[in-house]
Amino acid sequence: MTDTTSQKTDVEQFDAQAVNAAWARKPLYEARKKIFPKRASGQFRRFKWLIMLVTLGIYYLTPWLRWDRGPFAPDQAVLVDLANRRFYFFWIEIWPQEFFYVAGLLVMAGFGLFLVTSAVGRAWCGYTCPQTVWVDLFLVVERAIEGERNQRMKLDAAPWSLDKIAKRVSKHVIWLLIAVATGGAWIFYFADAPTLLVNAVTGKAASVAYGTVAVLTATTYVFGGLMREQVCTYMCPWPRIQAAMLDEQSLVVTYNDWRGEPRSRHAKKAKAEGKVVGDCVDCNACVVVCPMGIDIRDGQQLECITCALCIDACDGVMDKLGRPRGLISYATLDEYSGNMALATAGGTTGINPDLVRNMDGSFSDKVRHFDWRIIFRFRTMLYFTIWALVGIGLLVALGARDRLEVNVLRDRNPQYVTLSDGSIRNGYTVKLLNMIPEPRVIFLSMEGLPGATMSITGIDQPEGRSFAIPVDPDKLRTIKVYIRQPLENVEPGKAQFRLIAADKGSNESDVYIATFDAPEKK
């Protein structure tokens, strides 16, 4: 019998382990760590309340604004009328072929976002993104029902009781009501809001309306109430893209460790012992207010939405301690690096905050502060110029656009017909667009093509070279036009002529260069 345990082999043994070794494997999905943000107070929090009120007000109230466009057009100020393929925005009406205005607005929104990000970082995320605004709103409800951070944490850890059930049910019911109102407000942009509201509550609205409300209710409730910061961290692509728009001069929320470190909870004692201490008293006030649950003192992080609530929290602490505000502040990387170099004697020592201060404790003149002029640099000016040019182009196009159009499609089969008297006839489908909310008579006439006459199906007028055609307000009228040219005038091949649509009342007109087809040889 062979003893396999003591048997020595010549096979080389490697000191290695699989990168996904079973013992080191982490779960693919890490469970969410609950965050209980404390309510912050300060200038940025007040600014965020204001933005929240304005954005929510715009979203919920806009469909209810009225705008008188006369008896032939809807009176809703902002309306995406899918059924009639119109977009109304106060005094502006966009027809489907004018959709480039909307594309232009989207381009402007894109460059506006680039501009804001390059100047003040993720201000969109921190202040105006719907996810941020609705999470803030849901947190208001949560605080009102479950209390401040400590009470919420206590409630969360407590076993289920009648009180806990009542609070949780109330919170989720109000969240759902907000979610329904959010989904409901959205559909009002697509139909007359008062009519749709009545139809919706009486069960007479279209099923697509109920479906849309259901989907938006679910997404608002789940994203705003349940997932919260996970949407920003894991689902939104913007945190990844924005890095390309930031540079050393972009303002970002920054922990100024050049004055804060070494942090100490017992600064007086440490100082008495002759230790160097910074301004940070390690109170974690900046961490508990953070809606993302992160610590800005760990440096720039993908999760940071630059909501600036940690600035408010830290400023409050500095006020209490009688130290200058701004331990956490909006700062550029350039500014931060300069101050860091000062505090570390050009990188030769660890952080020594005494190096940035004078003997009396005030900051040295060498400390760099925010200079608003850096906002006006090449990158921001470039974004602003493109944004402004697109805007000006849209305004000019909007001011100069025609509200009367004629479009012509020549019959291709047959290209022409030879009538019994030898004359040649071509058929055309003509579309007259009356793009104002008033009825008008459009005069359709032709220029060129000697001797030719028009006849129009459905218009009770004798053959001629000019026709008066009534067109309903804000409508397109399609007519069938036949043009006949006597044999003696017919030129072989193709001949061009002009079809002119004119409104004599407003002096508006539009011209279409059309082609008349005849046989190559008479």
Options 108, 137, 139, 307; binder of ligand SF4; rule CB under 6 A? 307
Using the rule CB under 6 A, is 193 a contact of ligand SF4?
A: no
The whole-angstrom separation of Cα 187 and Cα 185 is 6
Which residue, 305 or 514, is less far from ligand SF4 as judged by CB? 305
Using the rule CB under 6 A, is 292 a contact of ligand SF4?
A: yes
User: Shortest gap between Cβ of 257 and ligand SF4 (angstroms)?
Assistant: 9
Options 78, 155, 283, 479; binder of ligand SF4; rule CB under 6 A? 283
The one-letter amino acid at 486: P
Q: Which of residues 317-346 bind ligand SF4 (CB under 6 A)?
A: 317, 327-328
- Residue 414, preceding bond cis, omega within 30 degrees? yes
User: Shortest gap between Cβ of 302 and ligand SF4 (angstroms)?
Assistant: 11
Q: Would you list the DSSP string of 44-93?
A: HHHHHHHHHHHHHHHHHHGGG-B----TTS--BSEEEETTTTEEEETTEE
The whole-angstrom separation of Cα 111 and Cα 339 is 32
Using the rule CB under 6 A, is 436 a contact of ligand SF4?
A: no
Options 55, 284, 300, 445; binder of ligand SF4; rule CB under 6 A? 284
Using the rule CB under 6 A, is 282 a contact of ligand SF4?
A: yes
Burial 14-32 (b: 16+ CB within 10 A, else e): eeeeeeeeeeeeeeeeeee
User: Shortest gap between Cβ of 272 and ligand SF4 (angstroms)?
Assistant: 20
Which value, in Å, is the radius of gyration of the alpha carbons in the chain?
A: 35
Using the rule CB under 6 A, is 308 a contact of ligand SF4?
A: yes
Using the rule CB under 6 A, is 517 a contact of ligand SF4?
A: no
Using the rule CB under 6 A, is 253 a contact of ligand SF4?
A: yes
Options 305, 436, 456, 495; binder of ligand SF4; rule CB under 6 A? 305
Stretch that binds ligand SF4, among 16-24, 183-191, 298-306, 495-503 (CB under 6 A): 298-306
Using the rule CB under 6 A, is 120 a contact of ligand SF4?
A: no
Other C-beta atoms closer than 10 Å to the C-beta of 207 total 7
Stretch that binds ligand SF4, among 265-273, 312-320, 355-363, 368-376 (CB under 6 A): 312-320
User: Shortest gap between Cβ of 276 and ligand SF4 (angstroms)?
Assistant: 16
The whole-angstrom separation of Cα 456 and Cα 443 is 12
The whole-angstrom separation of Cα 129 and Cα 134 is 9
Q: Would you list the DSSP string of 267-283?
A: HHHHHHTT----S----
CB 147 within 8 A of CB 153: no
Which residue, 296 or 456, is less far from ligand SF4 as judged by CB? 296
**Contact partners, residue 162, CB within 8 Å, separation at least 6:** none
User: Shortest gap between Cβ of 186 and ligand SF4 (angstroms)?
Assistant: 27
Using the rule CB under 6 A, is 98 a contact of ligand SF4?
A: no
How many whole angstroms from its chain centre is CA 384?
18
Which residue, 120 or 483, is less far from ligand SF4 as judged by CB? 120
The β-bridge partners of 418 are: 424
Using the rule CB under 6 A, is 286 a contact of ligand SF4?
A: yes
The β-bridge partners of 514 are: 497
Interface residues toward ligand SF4, by CB under 6 A: 253, 255, 260, 280-286, 289-290, 292, 294, 296-297, 304-310, 313-314, 317, 327-328
